[in-house]
Amino acid sequence: MKVLVPVKRVLDYNVKARVKPDQSGVDLSNVKMSMNPFDEIAVEEAVRLQEAGTATETIVVSIGPAKAQETIRTGLAMGMDRGVHVQTDEDLEPLAIAKILKAVAEAEGADLIVMGKQAIDNDYGATGGMLAALLGWPIGSAANSIALDGGALSVVKEVDGGLQTVKLQMPALVTADLRLNEPRYASLPNIMKAKRKPIDAKTPADFGVDTTPRLKTLKVTEPAAREAGIKVEDAAALVDKLKNEAGVI
Amino acid sequence: MTSHTQFGLANPFDTPERKAFRETIQNFVATEIRPYAHEWDEAGQVPWELHEKLGALGVFGFGIDEKYGGLGFEDPFMRSDYAVTMAMCGAGGVAAALGARSISTDPIQKLASEDIKLRVLPEILSGRKGGSLGITEPGGGSDVAALTTTARQEGEEWVLNGSKTFITGGMESDYFVIAARTGGPGLTGISLFFVEADAPGFTRTPLAKKMGWWASNQATLYFDECRVPAGNLMGQKDYGFLQIVNNFNYERLGLVGCALGMMKVCLEDSIEWAQERHTFGKPLIKHQVIRHKIADMSAKIDAVQSNLWIMCAQIDAGNMPVAEICKAKFAATKALEFCASEAMQILGGAGYLRGNRIENVYREVKVIAIGGGSEEIMKDLAMRQMGL
């Protein structure tokens, strides 16, 4: 079974995002970037499938600028076999990404795609669903655990109010939620080995995908600053505030 | 949450692998150590599991052959990045507890018998077991030439008598490299022995309460007719110590990295505090007196950092800058002393409370200024290395 894991290079989760002065987007100059945390979980799951002997080959793919290679190397250092880098400096929208990923999945003959349920930069959460629809594959979204069950894949999903188990026919697509696993740290020997693993260089044009943007960002703004709280004298005052000012009880 | 803008110098010798390793260690420290460092420091111990987690990442294997469980390569930049990052974890004793083994593994690889190397190095490097180097004695530290622990040969055994003190990791280590006199006075006449913690005649006691490095243990080791097999003599009789003097260069380089990491803590926490704390109607960072302190700290960090990178590049090129490492060590600890003091002034009362990094750094300046070669010994050694 071939497993494909798409990964995205995003602003590091630990860095405080700052809006550009012209409000056109988030300022990404000279800040730490790293693999989208949900994608790390997807990589970990693929590597575990390989270690369990279920996956025969694991491929990590990223679509983005030259620096996205670093993110692919992170996946390779965690244990993925090889990489595909579709290089573009454009900030592609989910539909364009999904179209390119469909072409990559078909070219590679992937049987299973595992990817983050969303990227922490723009939080669309759209690519997984679009990709499954384009491929005509079943999707297990927000996966909490997955297990191969004969020719089918059993996926436990995190839904409002609990867990839902679905059974998917292969080939299939799974999007990873936070609790699917705990990603490993790449060991130094594996970081060094990753240097020698191959990365195929591609461009969107290689797949004949039209990447013309369909969305227009009008304005990006900082969230409103939170106002300082107040201290109340006693429980009665608190109840009074909640009832008469906040109106929540 | 780190601030948006990353300032500071960029390493001109950086590679994608060095960057990947550095970021992995930064993530590891942020997630697996920093949240617990203070708690472990107060408890006086790190969980042994942490040794194994870091061992699995390969951090103890620099310069050690792969057949002994090492990395099979050397990289002074990666060693330094590890030292810097670990020193920022919130408790220096955590780094000391983990790193103590590093000064024992190089001598073992270089001088121990093949049997010993194949058996113990994989255990020490994977973090399953600890290793310590024992040179310093209760009667004298820096003056190695005067050491008085003795070893005499009796049939197929060596018999050790004497004691060692300030041995980091000594209470938990299973394996020791011990310097003992086998010949005449002076540095010639000192041999090295591989001693296991269960050797007959070996006992140990922990040092009393310390000013810092609480999360690590330091031991006094006693050898009372302690018997080890003849094959445990490491290297050439009488010349063992002289055969490992070069290994101290990496220890000192690591301590420069450690001082640098502690300085970075001073800068980071000072900036964060000075941006949040308001006095006289504006944030601290808008007061000129505070701005100057932060600028001074930042400039000293740049200097130590640049020096460290240049030394690493020279080592990488195969030329160990012995005098410069000595100078770098005392220059770094003096700069650290300045930063710790200024950071404490900036944080004020908040800095004096136990459980914040500045209080920890302030208490641990001296262990870096004294351990691994005191400032005074470093100056003397540098002068001698310069032929003066």
- The domain that holds B28 is classified in CATH as 1.10.540.10
Count of structural domains within chain B: 3
Same domain, yes or no, for B43 and B113? yes
- Chain A and chain B share a number of CB contacts under 8 A equal to 60
The answer regarding whether domain A2-246 maps to CATH 3.40.50.620 reads yes
Which residue segment(s) compose the domain that B57 sits in?
5-125
The runs of H, that is alpha helices, within chain B are: 16-28, 37-43, 48-57, 76-86, 92-99, 102-111, 114-125, 240-244, 248-276, 288-316, 322-347, 349-352, 357-370, 375-385
Q: What is the pLDDT of residue B245?
A: 86
Q: Which residue has the higher pLDDT, A228 or B221?
A: B221
Question: Given CB atoms, is A66 within the 8 Å cutoff of chain B?
Answer: no
Contacts of B1 in chain A (CB under 8 A): 14-16
B296-307 pLDDT tens trace: 999 999 999 999
Contact A16 B27 (CB under 8 A): no
Question: CB-side exposure of B328: number of CA atoms within 13 Å?
Answer: 29
User: B254 and B196: one domain?
Assistant: no
DSSP state for residue A204 in the 8-state scheme: G
The pLDDT of residue A14 is 87
Average pLDDT on B110-136 reads 97
The domains of chain A are located at 2-246
- How far apart CA B370 and CA B20 sit, in angstroms, is 32
Residues of chain B found within 8 Å of residue A187, distances taken between Cβ atoms: 56-58
Residue at a domain's end among B243, B261, B287: B243
| Model pLDDT, residue B2 | 53
**Tens digits of residue pLDDT in B317-351:** 999 999 999 999 999 999 999 999 999 999 999 99
pLDDT reported for residue B118:
98
Longest dimension (CA), chain B: 80
Question: For A110-119, what is each residue's pLDDT tens digit?
Answer: 999 999 999 9
Examine the pLDDT at B6 and tell me if it is beyond 80: no
**Radius of gyration (C-alpha) of chain B in whole angstroms:** 21
Cα–Cα distance, A153 to A46 (Å, whole number): 14
In chain A, what residues touch B16 (CB-CB under 8 Å)?
A: 70, 73, 195
Amino acid at B30: A
Check which CATH number belongs to the domain holding B274 and give it: 1.20.140.10
Please identify, among B107, B125, B143, the residue that sits at the C-terminal boundary of a domain: B125
Go through A107-117 and write b for each residue having 16 or more CB atoms within 10 A of its CB, e for each that does not.
Answer: ebebbbbbbbb
Nearest-neighbour CA in chain B from A225: distance (Å): 15
Question: How high is the pLDDT of residue A107?
Answer: 96
The domain that holds B219 is classified in CATH as 2.40.110.10
Residue B4 has pLDDT above 70, yes or no: no
Do residues B156 and B98 both lie within one domain? no
Residues on chain B touching A32 (C-beta within 8 angstroms): 2, 6, 23
Please give the pLDDT value at position A247: 85
Q: Residue B333: its pLDDT value, please?
A: 98
Q: What is the mean pLDDT of chain B?
A: 95
B219 shares its domain with B199: yes
Tell me the two tokens of residue A156.
């436990």
Cβ-Cβ contacts under 8 Å for A159 (sequence gap 6 or more): A142
Residues of chain A with pLDDT under 50: none
| Single residue among B184, B212, B243 that ends a domain in this structure | B243
Is the pLDDT score of B7 beyond 80? no
On whether both B181 and B51 belong to a single domain, the answer is: no
pTM of the model: 0.91
pLDDT (average), residues B163-176: 96
Cβ of B19 and A27 within 8 Å? no
* pLDDT at position B143: 80
Q: Which residues of chain A make contact with B126, given a CB cutoff of 8 A?
A: none
Backbone angles phi, psi at B321, to 5 degrees: -85, 80
Contact B78 A188 (CB under 8 A): yes
Looking at residues B374-388, what average pLDDT do you find?
94
Q: Which ipTM value was assigned to this complex? A: 0.89
Residue B5 has pLDDT above 60, yes or no: no
Q: Are the beta carbons of B4 and A27 separated by less than 8 Å?
A: yes
Chain B residues whose CB is inside 8 A of the A70 CB are: 16, 19-20
Phi and psi dihedrals of A239, rounded to 5? Answer: -60, -40
In this predicted structure, what is the pLDDT of residue B1? 47
DSSP string, B132-160: EEE--BTTBSS-GGG---EEEEETTEEEE
Question: Given this model, what pLDDT does residue B326 score?
Answer: 97
Q: Which residues pair with B228 in a beta bridge?
A: B158
**What is the tens place of the pLDDT at every residue in B72-105?**
999 999 999 999 999 999 999 999 999 999 999 9
Name which of B24, B271, B276, B278 to mutate to probe chain A: the one with the most chain A Cβ atoms within 10 A of its Cβ. B24
User: Is B146 in the same domain as B193?
Assistant: yes
* Residue in A closest to B60 by C-alpha: A188
CB contact under 8 A, A17 and B4: yes
- Helix (H) or strand (E) segment spanning residue A63: strand A57-64
Residues B86 and B161 in one domain: no
A16 and B4 within 8 Å at the Cβ level: the answer is yes
Region B125-145: what's the mean pLDDT? Answer: 90
Nearest chain B residue to A20 by CA: give it: B4
Residues B289 and B238 in one domain: no
Least confident piece of the model among A217-226, B4-13, B48-57, B178-187: B4-13
